C-alpha cells in the first residue's frame, strides 16, 4: 500500500532512491578500480617498472577500504542525530565531488608529487562517502518497509552495487572499443569520472523528494537522540556489533574489484565473459533476502555467510 496518502513517500520511490543512490556511488567507486588497473600507474605513480606502478595504483585503490569504516561511523552518528535524508544527500555529494575532481586532476608530469597526494586524498573521500552511503541506504529501505518485508526492501541497496559495477566496467569497455590506446590514456579515462556529475544530479533529484523515515520520526518524537549513538549500540548489542561485519564480506571487494577491470579491456572472449559474471551477483542478492522472510528467518543468513 502506498504511503503517499499519509504524507510519506511511496514504497516505489523509497526503493528507487535506495537503489539509484547506491548504484551511483558504487559506479563512482568502481571506475577508480578500473582506472587504477589501466592508467593510474604511469600517469600518477612514475616508477622504474610497470609492476611497481601498478602496485602503487592498487595501493591508492585500497585507501578507500580504510576510509569506509570511518565514513560509516561519522555518517551513522549524524544519521541517528540529524536524520537519514540529510546524511544520504551529504554522502552522495562527497562521493560525487571526489569523483569529478579526479576527472580533472593534473597528472604527475604537470604538478609532480602533488598529483598522487591529491589522488589519494580524493580516493579517501570516495571511501568515506561510500561508508556513509551503505548503511544509510539500507536504513532508508528497511525503515520504510512493512515488518514482514524488511529483508526484501533491504536487498535493493545490495542490488545497486552490481548495477554500479557493470556500468563502470561496461563504460570503460566501450571507451576501449572506440578510442585508440593513446586517446584513452591522454583523456579518455577522464570521461567516466566527469560523467559522474550527471549521475549524482539524478541521485539527488530522487533523494531530495524523500522525507525522513517513519522509524526515525517516531524515535525523535519519543526521546532526544543519544549523544553518542555508536556507544549505545555497542552497549546494547555487543554480539551483533562484533558479528555483523564478517571478514569474508569485508575482504571480498578488495580482491574482486580490480580483476574484472583488467579483463574489461582485454581482447575477447574475456571482455564478453566478464559482464555475465558480474550479473551473477544479482541472483543471491535477491534470493537470500527473499528467503529470509520465510519461517526460517534469520537462520537463512548462515549459508551465504559460510560461503
pLDDT at 109: 92
Q: DSSP assignment of 151-189, as one string?
A: HHHHHHHHHHHHHHHHHHHHHHHHHHHHS-HHHIIIIIT
CATH number of the CATH domain containing 287: 1.20.1250.20
pLDDT at 264: 46
pLDDT at 74: 93
Which are the contacts of 154, defined by CB distance < 8 A and separation ≥ 6? 138, 141, 142, 145, 289
The closest alpha carbon to 78, from 124, 139, 21, 120, belongs to 139
pTM score, two decimals? 0.81
pLDDT at 231: 85
Ranges in the chain, pLDDT < 70:
1-9, 243-307
Question: Residue 62's domain spans which residues?
Answer: 4-306
pLDDT at 291: 61
pLDDT at 279: 60
Which are the contacts of 274, defined by CB distance < 8 A and separation ≥ 6? 169, 260, 263, 264
First to last CA, the chain: 36
How does pLDDT run across 16-51, given as a tens digit for each residue?
A: 888 888 888 889 988 998 899 889 999 999 877 888
Q: Specify whether the backbone of 180 is left (phi greater than 0), alpha (psi in -120 to 50) or beta.
A: beta
As given in the structure block, the three cell numbers for residue 3 are 504511503
Q: Do residues 271 and 263 touch, judged by C-beta distance below 8 A? A: yes
Q: Specify whether the backbone of 7 is left (phi greater than 0), alpha (psi in -120 to 50) or beta.
A: left
Domain count, the chain: 1
pLDDT at 70: 93
Amino acid at each position: 500500500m502506498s504511503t503517499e496518502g499519509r504524507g510519506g513517500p511511496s514504497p516505489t520511490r523509497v526503493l528507487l532512491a535506495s537503489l539509484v543512490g547506491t548504484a551511483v556511488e558504487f559506479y563512482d567507486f568502481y571506475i577508480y578500480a578500473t582506472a587504477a588497473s589501466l592508467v593510474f600507474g604511469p600517469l600518477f605513480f612514475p616508477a622504474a617498472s610497470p609492476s611497481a606502478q601498478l602496485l602503487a595504483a592498487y595501493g591508492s585503490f585500497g585507501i578507500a577500504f580504510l576510509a569506509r569504516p570511518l565514513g560509516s561511523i561519522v555518517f551513522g552518528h549524524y544519521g541517528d542525530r540529524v536524520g537519514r535524508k540529510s546524511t544520504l544527500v551529504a554522502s552522495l555529494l562527497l562521493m560525487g565531488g571526489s569523483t569529478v575532481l579526479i576527472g580533472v586532476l593534473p597528472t604527475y608530469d604537470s604538478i609532480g608529487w602533488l598529483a598522487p597526494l591529491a589522488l589519494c586524498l580524493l580516493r579517501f573521500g570516495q571511501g568515506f562517502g561510500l561508508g556513509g552511503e551503505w548503511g544509510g541506504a539500507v536504513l532508508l529501505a528497511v525503515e520504510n518497509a512493512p515488518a514482514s518485508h524488511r529483508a526484501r526492501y533491504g536487498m535493493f541497496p545490495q542490488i545497486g552495487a552490481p548495477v554500479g559495477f557493470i556500468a563502470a566496467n561496461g563504460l570503460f569497455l566501450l571507451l576501449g572499443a572506440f578510442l585508440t590506446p593513446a586517446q584513452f590514456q591522454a583523456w579518455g579515462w577522464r570521461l567516466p569520472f566527469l560523467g559522474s556529475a550527471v549521475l549524482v544530479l539524478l541521485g539527488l533529484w530522487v533523494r531530495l523528494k524523500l522525507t525522513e523515515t517513519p522509524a526515525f520520526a517516531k524515535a525523535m518524537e519519543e526521546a532526544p537522540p543519544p549523544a553518542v549513538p555508536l556507544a549505545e549500540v555497542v552497549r546494547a548489542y555487543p554480539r551483533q556489533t562484533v558479528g555483523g561485519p564478517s571478514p569474508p564480506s569485508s575482504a571480498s571487494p578488495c580482491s574482486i574489484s580490480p580483476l574484472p577491470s583488467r579483463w574489461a579491456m582485454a581482447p575477447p572472449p574475456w571482455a564478453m565473459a566478464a559482464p555475465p559474471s558480474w550479473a551473477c551477483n544479482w541472483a543471491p542478492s535477491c534470493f537470500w533476502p527473499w528467503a529470509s522472510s520465510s519461517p526460517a528467518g534469520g537462520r537463512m543468513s548462515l549459508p551465504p555467510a559460510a560461503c
